[in-house]
Structure 1
């Protein structure tokens, strides 16, 4: 009887993360082409059965582990040039200030405009990547960045630097959001945390060690060398991406087995026999193709009406902007208070860089372990609940299925699985940044400043891995657009804080500034508590509302059909 029951009934407890296609087809219900993809775990057990026979024979992704790791390397390589462009510039801020005879505030403004365009561009380009494919947008982004870096290396006045920094950021910044989309295309929830963590970890190498690279280059060859380095590196990246980066957008290639129609989406690597065999290009899984969506440049803004997303953006945005403000402040302090040379300033970013890299990679691995552990416990629990319901309803499978489908009590809490460690990271990073600010204010020994910087960095960027992974879980087929929203919020907040940094320091000193920023960050833990407590119910209610809206729309359409 047990086996027959499992074969017939909607099984909410079975792992279906490898087969997310059936849920993605319903994303249009939200009216924004963005819908919670967690239907199989939150509110739609019946959707699993509708496509079960087909999905059991068609793997979610045809990409092998080695091919996924190659994608990780490619995403990390392109993402590196997005992140390094910001931090590689920090050690030469005072040099730029003297070279062009500008104020400290004007020098900081070259960072501000970079963050502004770094936030705005992915919101637009992410929508293009979700419609026309990841590959062509990535290639365009790298090409634009390559040209901007050459222009910056040849610039001769402050206005040119300001304008080209805008172009540089607008060009390369979309790849961060698109990388999340690529990982969402080829990975399942059970493995996604690890892959996203690896990509984020290697991307953050640019942020973590950019200042060290910039200091070394500028002290040996001058400040223009940092832009020549970026131009040469991005040129190499452009060649490799053109040759090796495959298209992964599921509306174009399904699970990777469908050859894209446009030559812009076709990589030369698809002509390699071993790759063709692994991806089954000669026998494509056409059923894995998903419906194409229209371009919506405002899609990143439209998801702001979702309460869970708003809370997540606030928490991650405050944490990231505090960290970037600390990076900017560290450069000025080491130069003007501690009178260090450019090369020594670069070395002083090393402790924070190592801590940042360690934290992001570790956070991804922890998310994988946490998800698997909680999922196993959930599967065991839901089986017990199903048996109890079978006894309660005297074997009526329809009533059992309806009970599981209509009650959030029986759904897997994905929000908690991804965000539960964030309390600890928020607390310790706030302590670290507060200590960092006061160490600067009292001009404590340099070792104390660097240790507090490293301690704060060890915990501050974990929330980015947590939040990015959750967003990709919720919107895998629109991951570039959804992640672009996160990028927009955190970059604009960073721009605001950095623009105000000089004035804030004049009024509050560094201790007061970072106490204030840390207080804002730690206060977001109340929002986190609300999200952990109510996130599952909020998602459940939203999806139920979307289901009812879709049913009403279907009813109206059927009435219009002539008889």
Structure 2
């Protein structure tokens, strides 16, 4: 009588012979709901887990690794405009106030209103992108942004600048949400950590390039050239997007294998299609074998299929229990960054006598710390994810999206972000007292470097977790994140100046650091109850779907 292991081997070979593709048999994740059937080999003393299982699901995305890297890098460059527009403006605040004959407080109001619109606008465009596609949303954003920059460059007075800055914010702010949405379209949770460096690119380079560029332009060419340069840069990137960045919304193109409608194709795809058709027509006219015009992927679906546009989706996500706690706390943390960034030009100008260019250069250490955080944090996030897969007995697979309903993804992410936040809390206290006692500029540079490492490291972790929890609504979820961060940040930028004038920089930043520590139990609640909350949310969704389907069946009857 053959052994059970031989029977199992024979059954696996028979299955492989029946498949068209020898790669169809792959190991599946433990407990995967979509796992293929295993062979019945009869009674055996061997553990059942040794029997081979079949995972016949396709990869999460048909894009190759290099294609995904190029796409994510491309959308990260687009997201660069939102923080760049905020940062490039800061060194010119003193010049703007003098040129427009208004007070610093009124000029700071243009920063506050920019941040308010930076939080509100993605609620609409993010939900729009989730339902109607990424490329139409990008088109709207860039057209509005370029027009607003031209208007700001020609603004005749303070009132016009204030209004146009709001419009400028509306055009640029959603690019951050769209960047995270595209990452969710093409990248699985298992490999998302390695793309943190790309998605963190806006946060890394904007504090470095923005203030330096803004200071140089403001001092040597005038503040209006800040907006002309932004308009030119945005126009160039918009052309690149029109030619090369494909539609990735899974509601439109699925895993990328569905050929989208003509309105969703890049100019490069349209040119290739036209070229193939011409070749096919010439071959047919000459009596040769007609060339088959095939799209780049398997499916040839061309219709426009869109979900119902829910403008309040971002608010719905925001008031889910886990998301509300996470975003409420992370917005307070990020408010510390806004307070440092907006108060730095005034403090350096008044107490150290630095001009616009030197003020811009002082933002470079923060960018350096942010760069280190992105490089190190991405590897740590992936490492901790693999560690928790091993603890849970779940095979680690990069190319297939894992069902995270019962997986402790909150622990996998926040165990990396939490220590960085504690580190940032201590540095924020030191930063306040260093400003209070006019420490040497070298001390300020070191503290800015460490602050960038801690704050941006924690921010990257929460961004990844947010997409993990809401992979199908990443645009709306990131918009919720923008809303809380920008509204709380706007309030922080409005009060940090009066706070420093009233109680000093030391106590002002001590209060912010204390808020970080007081809010730490929020992270503990998320790690402890996150899995249960997500299971309850899935149960509610299933119940609503069952009631809806039941109503449809009843109507048909």
Q: TM-score range by the shorter chain?
A: 0.7 to 0.9
Instruction: State the shift of 1:272 in Å.
Output: 7.0
State the match for 1:260 in structure 2: 260
Within-5 A mapping of 1:159-238: 159-238=159-238
Task: Write the distance in 2 (CA, Å) between the matches of 1:163 and 1:54.
Answer: 59
Does the CA-based 8 Å contact 1:149-1:231 persist in structure 2?
yes
Deviation of residue 317 (structure 1)? 0.7
Residue of structure 2 aligned with 1:46, choices 25, 33, 39: 33
Give me the whole-angstrom Cα distance separating, in 1, the residues matched to 2:541 and 2:258: 31
- CA offsets 1:307-337 (integer angstroms, 9 cap, x no match): 1101110222111111011011111100111
Pairs within 5 Å for 1:473-484: 473-484=468-479
Residues 362 and 381 of structure 1: CA distance in aligned 2, closer, same or farther (over 3 Å)? closer
Alignment-derived partner of residue 521 in structure 1: 516
Specify the alignment match of 2:311 in structure 1. Answer: 297
Give distance in 1, aligned partners of 2:296 and 2:222.
Answer: 53
Match of 2:349 in 1: 335
Q: Secondary structure at the match of 2:352?
A: coil
* Offset, 1:551: 3.2
Alignment of 1:132-531 (within 5 A): 132-263=132-263, 265-271=264-270, 281=295, 284-285=298-299, 292-379=306-393, 411-531=406-526
Query: 1:482-540 CA distances to partner (integer Å, 9 max, x unpaired)?
Result: 11000110011110011112222232211111111111122221100111111112212
Is the Cα–Cα contact under 8 Å of residues 121 and 173 in structure 1 kept in the other structure?
yes
Give the drift of 1:59: 2.5
Unaligned runs of 5+ in 1: 8-39, 383-404
Q: What residue number does 1:534 align with?
A: 529
Evaluate the alpha carbon distance shift between residue 54 and residue 161 of structure 1 in structure 2; reply closer, same or farther with a 3 A threshold: farther
Structure 2 partner of 1:24 = none
- Higher-helix-fraction structure: 1
Could you tell me which residue of structure 1 aligns to residue 43 of structure 2? none
Displacement of 1:183 after TM fit?
0.7
Out of 118-127 and 521-530, give the one that drifted further: 521-530
Contact 1:250 1:290 (C-alpha < 8 Å) held by counterparts: no
Kindly indicate whether the alpha-carbon contact (under 8 Å) linking 2:72 and 2:198 is maintained by their aligned counterparts in 1: yes
CA deviation profile, 1:340-391 (whole Å, cap 9, x unmatched)? 1111111111111111222134322321222123213322699xxxxxxxxx
Decide whether the 8 Å contact of 2:119 with 2:486 is kept in 1.
yes
After superposition, the Cα gap between the structure-2 partners of 1:116 and 1:81, relative to the gap in structure 1 and judged at 3 Å, is: same
* Secondary structure of the structure 2 residue equivalent to 1:461: helix
State the TM-score, normalized to the length of structure 2.
0.83
In 2, Cα distance between equivalents of 1:203 and 1:439: 24
Q: Please give the alpha-carbon distance, in whole angstroms, between the structure 2 residues aligned to 1:433 and 1:209.
A: 23
1:12-57: per-residue Cα shift (whole Å, max 9, x none)? Answer: xxxxxxxxxxxxxxxxxxxxxxxxxxxx99xx8535569xx99725
CA distance in structure 1 between the partners assigned to 2:123 and 2:314 by the alignment? 6
The question of whether the paired residues in 2 share the 8 Å contact of 1:178 and 1:480 is answered with yes
SS in 2 for 1:340: coil
Query: Shift of residue 61 of structure 1?
Result: 0.9
Describe the shift of the 1:430–1:507 C-alpha distance in structure 2 as closer, same or farther (beyond 3 A).
same
Q: Distance in 2 between matches of 1:286 and 1:271?
A: 14
Per-residue CA distance 1:76-118 (angstroms, 9 max, x = gap)? 2211111100001111111111112222211111110110111
Partner SS for 2:353: coil
Give the direction of change, closer, same or farther, for the CA distance of 1:95–1:142 in structure 2 (3 Å limit).
same
Aligned residues of 2:184 and 2:471 also touching (Cα < 8 A)? yes
Once the two structures are TM-superposed, the CA of residue 188 in structure 1 deviates from its matched residue by 0.9
Q: Alpha carbons of 1:542 and 1:131: their partners in 2 closer, same or farther (altered >3 Å)?
A: closer
149-158 or 479-488, which deviates more: 149-158
Paired residue secondary structure (1:61): coil
User: Once the two structures are superposed, what CA deviation does each residue of 1:104-149 show, in whole Å capped at 9, x if it has no partner?
Assistant: 2111111101101111110110011111110111122112111111
Aligned mates of 1:261, 1:184 — CA distance in 2: 21
- Secondary structure class of the residue paired with 2:519: helix
Give the CA deviation at 1:417.
0.9
Asked if the contact 1:419/1:532 (under 8 Å) is kept, the reply is: yes
Q: Would you say 1:128 and 2:128 are equivalent positions?
A: yes
Contact 1:129 1:480 in 2 (8 A): yes
Shift of 1:286: 7.5
Larger Rg: 2
Task: State which drifts further: 314-323 or 369-378.
Answer: 369-378
| Structure 2 residue matching 1:421: 3-state secondary structure | helix
TM-aligned CA distance change 1:144 to 1:55, over 3 Å: farther
